[in-house]
Structure 1
Amino acid sequence: MKSTLLILFLTLIHLTSFGQEFDFKKVPLSNARVLANHMQVLAASYPLKKLSGLDLIKVQILSEKYDDAIATIEKEIKDKPKTEQIYLDLYHQYAKAKLAPNFQVAFKELYKSYVTKADDFQVLNLDDTLIARDGTDYFISDFERTYEGMTAETISNETAQNLIHKYFLKTVYESTRNLFFEAIKQDHKRRYRINDNIIVPMKDGAEVSVVVVERKETVKAKKPTILIASIYAGTNETGAMLSASKGYVGVITNTRGKRLSKGPVKPLEHEHTDVYEVIDWISKQPWSNQKVGMYGGSYNGFTQWASMKHKVHPALKTIVPMVAIAPGIDYPMENNVLHNYSYSWNFYVTNTKFLDFKVSQDYNRWDTLKNRWYTSGVAFNRLDSLDGQVNRLWNTYMQHPSYDDYWKKMIPFKQEFSKIDIPILTITGYYDDSQIGALYYYDQHTKYVKNPNHYVLVGPYDHWTAQTQPQEFLRNYKLDKTALIDIRYDLVYQWFDYILKGKEKPNILKDKVNFQVMGTNTWMHKPSLSAMTNDTLTFHLSDAKTDDFYALKSKSNASKISLTVDFKDRESMTNTGYYPWPLEKESINLKDGLLFKSESLEEDVIINGSFLGNLEFTINKKDVDYSVILYQLTPEGNYFHLSYYIGRASYAHGREHRQLLTPNKKVQVSFNNSKLISKKLQKGSRMVAVVNVNKNNNAQLNYGTGKEVNEENIKDAEVPLKIIFSGNSSISLPVWYSQKE
């Protein structure tokens, strides 16, 4: 062993105080022992003075300085939020076990003791963080891909640190996953009565699988029930356990065909009847007091609305839909533009009775597929032929590009909202991928019911954190402290206690619409979405140009600004930066689309709501998929991604029916459902708008022939698309001036 380490050490030269690189020689991945020695030497030769916190812990553990690592962890853990403590606690037990003669035995005992001493909520957090979001397989493959891809004989300081980071994650989780999985799951059995063998028959002869969870050592009595209706079989148990620990009976029902139920899995199609029937079943159980609440996010948010399509069950007293998708509205397409991320999701949820994690994490397959589709130019509806596996659900989507009866049967439609008379708390985020769906339900409910008992909470959260608890940073942006609320563990159950147990309403819900104003460390509270704004800033597109930017003007003008897109060109893409990640950056792609910049703002202002667009243009095609991205160019010169819109021009008048454009005839296309945001814009900021045509490997390509977009292919791209925007085109920002209050 010592001779091996010596040889390896000679291949890794320690960085001098002025050095920039390590000499590096790869060893076979198949030889785990040699690889471990190799990485140990790399970690041991890394300059510790450059490191602190978690980076230092990783190097100390890999270089087998376990006592030092334990001391660093114990120092770090005191000031960390609960979720970060979970990881540090794991590394703490790992480092301690490494000092024992038998690592496996020592770690098992240490972690079991750690879990036993924790309260219910700490253990549920462990499950949510380490099991439900288990990244072990990804950590392994990520390190191996990175290591195999290294070809240079020297590596930089940054590359060495990245390699240490990835090997650390692979090593720790690969050697402990089974042990902490078992410790947590056994502890659940100690705390809860879990009946996961229930089958409930549906009126049409189908069946659904149900799980009931109650807290042990509590007085048996009739209680309210909290229901989660989900397609994600096997991943919502902690939600039911949380309800049990909060004084409720927790129930999970899964989409027909999932878990123990017979028959095929049909996502989205039967929740509008099945969930209602499960609520009816709950109301007749001996442990039920005939009061049911529902909560959950994404698909689990959709199921709550679906349950009320035909009527609201008398036992259903409230719902808390978080980041709820709305089929046909924002999933699988957004403003009638169909994205391809749903392609792999279909296999993930339908391949097995539970979930096919292996297929969902086959990133190479999905990246290869979308790149192959893009470069080949074949029609979108042939995606599964390129994949070599029939995707039944995907082919169904192909048949329903507009908001037709297929989608309308899934959730309440128009007047069907008028009968929904229960209290509702909608939760979403400014960077939630399903924000449009979540707020669609609110918009329709308030449209068809006068002053409904419907509250909205929205803040600087994404699809995940709006269902759980936001962290200090979101996509590199540091959140205000007031935004760091525990949504799932505190707010949701405060709401249930308010509605189902007669306790006080959550303090943060001071009015019907409650939103955190980024950059102010405050929340605002308004009676409606429209009340969020008291003024509008309108900018018109102009052909006046300075360097790479056209100008945004305060008045309409006679400008003409041209954009040409060649769909035959598959060497490049457009509109690749529309997705907000990271939120703030030093630069944007100045060659992608038409870039417009305003003059500096003369005073502070808050952007509150969804920005609007009214684009006037002529085009040589019958249709176009376009996007508008809105940035704040800060006084410091950084670009902050505020919001974006992507949509199909032929559906600008409504998502139900397509109205093709007339080539070379001036047309006005408007939109008003961009992503909602609230953020303070400082004096001296400028607004930057990027207007673009969508052409990339993430969504359909609309060639503009007027044929069904799913059927178009590169043969329809002989003539490049040319669009000319006029100076009557405008972008309007809903804003709030505090002095006008």
Structure 2
Amino acid sequence: MKKSVLILFLTLNSICFFGQEILFQEVTLTDSVAIEQQMKQIAGFCDTENLSEIDIFKFQLIRGDYKEALITIKKRIKETPTDQRQYLDVYKYYVEAKQSKNFKAVFTKSYRKYVKNSDDIQVINLDKALILRDPTDYYISNFNTTYGNIKSEKISQEIAIDLVKKYFLSTVFSSTRAIYFKEIKQDHKRRYAINDSIVIPMKDGAEVSLVVVKRKGKSSTKKSAILVSSIYAGTNEVSAMLSASKGYVGVIANTRGKRLSKSEIKPLEYEHTDVYEVIDWISKQSWSNQKVAMFGGSYNGFTQWASMKHKVHPALKTIVPMVAIAPGIDYPMENNVLHNYSYSWNFYVTNNKFLDFEASNDFNRWNSLKNTWYKTGVAFNKLDSLDGQENTLWNTYMQHPSYDEYWKKMIPYKQEFAKIDIPILTITGYYDDSQRGAMYYYNQHHKYAKNPNHYVLVGPYDHWTAQSKPQESLRNYKLDKSALINIEEDLIYQWFDYVLKGKEKPSILKDKVNFQVMGTNTWMHKPSQSAMTNDTLQFHLSSEKDHDFYALKTKSNNSEVSMSIDFKDRKTMNNTDYYPWPLEKDNINVKDGLIFKSEALKEDIILNGSFFGNLKFSINKKDVDYSVILYQLTPEGNYFHLSYYIGRASYAKDREQRNLLIPNQKTQVSFNNSKLISKKIQKGSRIVVVVNVNKNNNAQINYGTGRDVNIESSKDAEIPLNITFTGNSSVSLPVFKI
């Protein structure tokens, strides 16, 4: 140690500005003292004049200017709402402890007092930010990788500043993680009675593992239970604690095979019976008042609907499915197009009794796999052969490309929705990856049940924020203030209090369909989804062209527009920008697909609902996977991603039965399952539509032979795909005119 410090001392004395660069000499990362001294010196040479207040604090701390750093962080904390400062509070206690002679003792004492004085919700948020979504390993890895990648003897100001900021996160969290983990978990035990060792038998002999959470010090009277049924073992305890803190009993049921269950792990397949039996078990407990409610997002939204497939348990009084997936509808395929993101998910949830974060976060593995698959052109069902590890669940998906009995047995099907007669609140977002699933349940329930007591709330949220609390911005778009509602901590429990305790209905639910109109800072409330619109703007494709754009016409025409896709070419991809990220950008790739642009709108409109279309074309293949993307071209010249559709032509009429196209014969393919949105479109804006064929490394490639797409390969790509759209093709926008 003494030798390395001496070498570092000599090295640091040679560090100086070289123009705008700083001399750099690598030291051993495992030598924490040497690294600390080096980062202190580099921080001293960095120009921090144009940095944000929080970044200036980081440099003050790393330089050892603790008094100034404490002043800065206290000021920032004072300006930050309590529920947004979990990291900031760690920083403050870290600075205070660094000024002492016994860092660990001082930090522990301060943080213990801080946690003890925090209310239930605040401690739950600490758990979610610091334990459930523990960032420490990422911060350590990020700094080590960045440091190790520096191979020159001089680094720029930009690199030096980035390095110090990453070191700050690495050193602060690695120094404090063990302490705040222990203090938060100990505080949970002080507040809650947690029974995490319950295992109950199913009628078929399988086991399901449960966790029951009660708030200590509350009334001993019988209570309603709030159930979360989840495959994500070990991640929902804070949800149960939140329910307990709100005056309920929180219950977590994990998919059979997970946690303490000795059964085989079978995602999706048994929730339609297991969850019903869990509800029955809850209703028979001594602490239960025979009222059960459910909530949860994504997979945990699906399980709520699954529980009602055969019948609604008498104790189940309401459900709140958020961003709920619908197996076979929007997961793992999207309008029968199978995406590869579910490939890694299978390992994440089935590799062990809890979750395999190491496998899930191995992004190099997954990116390499999809790139190798795309470049080699092998069949989609060979993914696990390329990966070198059998993916049993994935191979099962391969056998069920249509909506067949395998999928139908998981959730209510057609008339099975008719018997669902409890109050339901569906929550989703315009940019939720599972919006199609959430709205499928909503639409099927309304189709088969008579006057269902079913509310929906939808806003400018994605898959994560629609089940928690939206931040000020989403994918570079600044949300209206009215959209910033606390879904997880307020709205859901207002609904539960309304249904289970007879309190007032949440004020935001003024009608059955409630949606935030982006760009107006207001919500609209309608009695039905159809009532969202009172007019339709219809545009037709045409061959009239101005530079890179074809024209969108208000009337059908006799023109034709063609495109050709060479599936053998693996140096390029098509349809790479269909996913809305970011939401607003300066330009789009005008070389990818057929781009159509309308005339400028002569008045403001509100786009409300799902855009739909009828594409009339001829093709030299028996099938095609196509997409339609909808943009607003603002008067300022920016492109706002409104919505998109991607699907397989052969399933357009019926997701259960494939109907192949007749090559070189004109056909019509209709779609009405695009992502729902509500946004004000200003006068002077133009509508831009991108029509494309799907050919990229994110999903199956449909070569058009008519055979199972999963077994097609680049050997089926000898003849390029040629497709010609007619001027009778239309894209229609549902609008609300005031």
Shared fold, TM over 0.5: yes
Q: Please give the secondary structure, in 1, of the residue aligned with 2:614.
A: strand
Give the match for residue 567 of structure 1: 567
Question: Does the aligned pair in 1 maintain the 2:8–2:38 contact within 8 Å?
Answer: no
Deviation for aligned residue 1:9:
6.1
Give the match for residue 416 of structure 1: 416
Structure 1 residues 567-613: Cα deviation after superposition (integer angstroms, max 9, x where no partner): 11111111111111111111222221111111111111111111112
Using a 3 Å threshold, how does the CA distance of structure 1 residues 544 and 31 change in structure 2: closer, same or farther? farther
Task: Specify the code of the residue in structure 2 equivalent to 1:647.
Answer: G
Give the match for residue 578 of structure 1: 578
Give the match for residue 220 of structure 1: 220
Give the match for residue 337 of structure 2: 337
Give the match for residue 354 of structure 1: 354
Using a 3 Å threshold, how does the CA distance of structure 1 residues 80 and 144 change in structure 2: closer, same or farther? same
Structure 1 residues 702-727: Cα deviation after superposition (integer angstroms, max 9, x where no partner): 11111111101111111111111111
Q: Does 1:7 align with 2:14?
A: no
Using a 3 Å threshold, how does the CA distance of structure 1 residues 449 and 578 change in structure 2: closer, same or farther? same
Task: Specify the code of the residue in structure 2 equivalent to 1:243.
Answer: S
Deviation for aligned residue 1:466:
0.6
Q: Does 1:377 align with 2:377?
A: yes
Q: Does 1:55 align with 2:45?
A: no
In 1, the alpha carbon distance for the partners of 2:61 and 2:398 equals 51
In 2, the alpha carbon distance for the partners of 1:147 and 1:580 equals 33
Q: Does 1:241 align with 2:241?
A: yes
Q: Please give the secondary structure, in 2, of the residue aligned with 1:50.
A: coil
In 2, the alpha carbon distance for the partners of 1:204 and 1:605 equals 56
Question: Does the aligned pair in 1 maintain the 2:626–2:649 contact within 8 Å?
Answer: yes
Structure 1 residues 145-165: Cα deviation after superposition (integer angstroms, max 9, x where no partner): 334444555555444443333
Using a 3 Å threshold, how does the CA distance of structure 1 residues 678 and 259 change in structure 2: closer, same or farther? same
Give the match for residue 457 of structure 2: 457
In 1, the alpha carbon distance for the partners of 2:622 and 2:287 equals 60
In 2, the alpha carbon distance for the partners of 1:433 and 1:181 equals 32
In 2, the alpha carbon distance for the partners of 1:591 and 1:140 equals 40
Q: Comparing 448-457 with 592-601, which one deviates more in the overlay? A: 592-601
Deviation for aligned residue 1:100:
1.9
Using a 3 Å threshold, how does the CA distance of structure 1 residues 198 and 51 change in structure 2: closer, same or farther? same
Task: Specify the code of the residue in structure 2 equivalent to 1:430.
Answer: Y
Give the match for residue 103 of structure 1: 103
Deviation for aligned residue 1:175:
2.2
Q: Does 1:177 align with 2:188?
A: no
Give the match for residue 483 of structure 2: 483
Give the match for residue 66 of structure 2: 66
Q: Comparing 58-67 with 487-496, which one deviates more in the overlay? A: 58-67
Deviation for aligned residue 1:292:
0.5
- Residues 234-273 of structure 1 mapped to structure 2, 5 A cutoff: 234-273=234-273
- Residues 666-705 of structure 1 mapped to structure 2, 5 A cutoff: 666-705=666-705
In 2, the alpha carbon distance for the partners of 1:520 and 1:158 equals 39
Deviation for aligned residue 1:223:
0.7
Give the match for residue 187 of structure 2: 187
Q: Does 1:635 align with 2:635?
A: yes
Task: Specify the code of the residue in structure 2 equivalent to 1:340.
Answer: N
In 2, the alpha carbon distance for the partners of 1:572 and 1:75 equals 51
Task: Specify the code of the residue in structure 1 equivalent to 2:472.
Answer: E
Deviation for aligned residue 1:561:
1.4
Q: Please give the secondary structure, in 2, of the residue aligned with 1:295.
A: strand
Question: Does the aligned pair in 1 maintain the 2:377–2:713 contact within 8 Å?
Answer: yes
Q: Structure 1: 5+ residue runs without aligned partners?
A: none
Task: Specify the code of the residue in structure 1 equivalent to 2:333.
Answer: M
Q: Please give the secondary structure, in 1, of the residue aligned with 2:85.
A: helix
In 1, the alpha carbon distance for the partners of 2:655 and 2:322 equals 24
Structure 1 residues 636-672: Cα deviation after superposition (integer angstroms, max 9, x where no partner): 1111111111111111102111111111111111111
In 2, the alpha carbon distance for the partners of 1:162 and 1:512 equals 49
Deviation for aligned residue 1:294:
0.3
In 2, the alpha carbon distance for the partners of 1:141 and 1:483 equals 35
Using a 3 Å threshold, how does the CA distance of structure 1 residues 581 and 168 change in structure 2: closer, same or farther? farther
Structure 1 residues 415-462: Cα deviation after superposition (integer angstroms, max 9, x where no partner): 000000000000000111100000100000011112210000000111
Question: Does the aligned pair in 2 maintain the 1:12–1:24 contact within 8 Å?
Answer: no
Deviation for aligned residue 1:66:
2.4
Structure 1 residues 306-358: Cα deviation after superposition (integer angstroms, max 9, x where no partner): 00000000000000000000000000111111111111111111111111111
The alignment covers a number of residue pairs equal to: 734
Give the match for residue 428 of structure 2: 428
- Residues 196-595 of structure 1 mapped to structure 2, 5 A cutoff: 196-595=196-595
Q: Please give the secondary structure, in 2, of the residue aligned with 1:627.
A: strand
Question: Does the aligned pair in 1 maintain the 2:83–2:122 contact within 8 Å?
Answer: no
Give the match for residue 46 of structure 2: 46
Question: Does the aligned pair in 2 maintain the 1:513–1:529 contact within 8 Å?
Answer: yes
Question: Does the aligned pair in 2 maintain the 1:12–1:41 contact within 8 Å?
Answer: no
Structure 1 residues 194-245: Cα deviation after superposition (integer angstroms, max 9, x where no partner): 0111111111111101111100011211011101100011110011111111
Q: Please give the secondary structure, in 1, of the residue aligned with 2:637.
A: coil
In 2, the alpha carbon distance for the partners of 1:179 and 1:678 equals 46
Q: Comparing 406-415 with 530-539, which one deviates more in the overlay? A: 530-539
- Residues 99-178 of structure 1 mapped to structure 2, 5 A cutoff: 99-151=99-151, 155-178=155-178
In 2, the alpha carbon distance for the partners of 1:411 and 1:419 equals 13
Deviation for aligned residue 1:28:
4.6
Question: Does the aligned pair in 1 maintain the 2:22–2:45 contact within 8 Å?
Answer: no
In 2, the alpha carbon distance for the partners of 1:403 and 1:588 equals 34
In 2, the alpha carbon distance for the partners of 1:223 and 1:440 equals 33
Using a 3 Å threshold, how does the CA distance of structure 1 residues 8 and 715 change in structure 2: closer, same or farther? farther
Question: Does the aligned pair in 2 maintain the 1:138–1:361 contact within 8 Å?
Answer: no
Task: Specify the code of the residue in structure 2 equivalent to 1:680.
Answer: K
Task: Specify the code of the residue in structure 2 equivalent to 1:643.
Answer: S
Question: Does the aligned pair in 1 maintain the 2:324–2:434 contact within 8 Å?
Answer: yes
Q: Please give the secondary structure, in 2, of the residue aligned with 1:618.
A: strand
Deviation for aligned residue 1:95:
1.7
Q: Comparing 495-504 with 596-605, which one deviates more in the overlay? A: 596-605
Q: Please give the secondary structure, in 2, of the residue aligned with 1:419.
A: coil
Q: Comparing 31-40 with 514-523, which one deviates more in the overlay? A: 31-40
In 2, the alpha carbon distance for the partners of 1:11 and 1:649 equals 64
Deviation for aligned residue 1:172:
2.1
Q: Tell me the TM-score normalized by structure 2.
A: 0.97
Give the match for residue 654 of structure 2: 654
Task: Specify the code of the residue in structure 1 equivalent to 2:687.
Answer: M
Give the match for residue 734 of structure 2: 734
In 2, the alpha carbon distance for the partners of 1:143 and 1:701 equals 38
RMSD value over aligned CA atoms? 1.7
In 1, the alpha carbon distance for the partners of 2:672 and 2:155 equals 50
Q: Please give the secondary structure, in 1, of the residue aligned with 2:702.
A: coil
In 2, the alpha carbon distance for the partners of 1:140 and 1:641 equals 35
Q: Structure 2: 5+ residue runs without aligned partners?
A: none
Deviation for aligned residue 1:33:
3.7
In 2, the alpha carbon distance for the partners of 1:82 and 1:646 equals 41
Q: Comparing 23-32 with 275-284, which one deviates more in the overlay? A: 23-32
Task: Specify the code of the residue in structure 2 equivalent to 1:136.
Answer: T
Deviation for aligned residue 1:493:
0.2
Deviation for aligned residue 1:524:
0.3
In 2, the alpha carbon distance for the partners of 1:698 and 1:563 equals 21
Give the match for residue 719 of structure 2: 719
Q: Comparing 520-529 with 64-73, which one deviates more in the overlay? A: 64-73
Deviation for aligned residue 1:737:
1.1
Q: Comparing 660-669 with 188-197, which one deviates more in the overlay? A: 660-669
In 1, the alpha carbon distance for the partners of 2:185 and 2:94 equals 19
Task: Specify the code of the residue in structure 2 equivalent to 1:607.
Answer: L
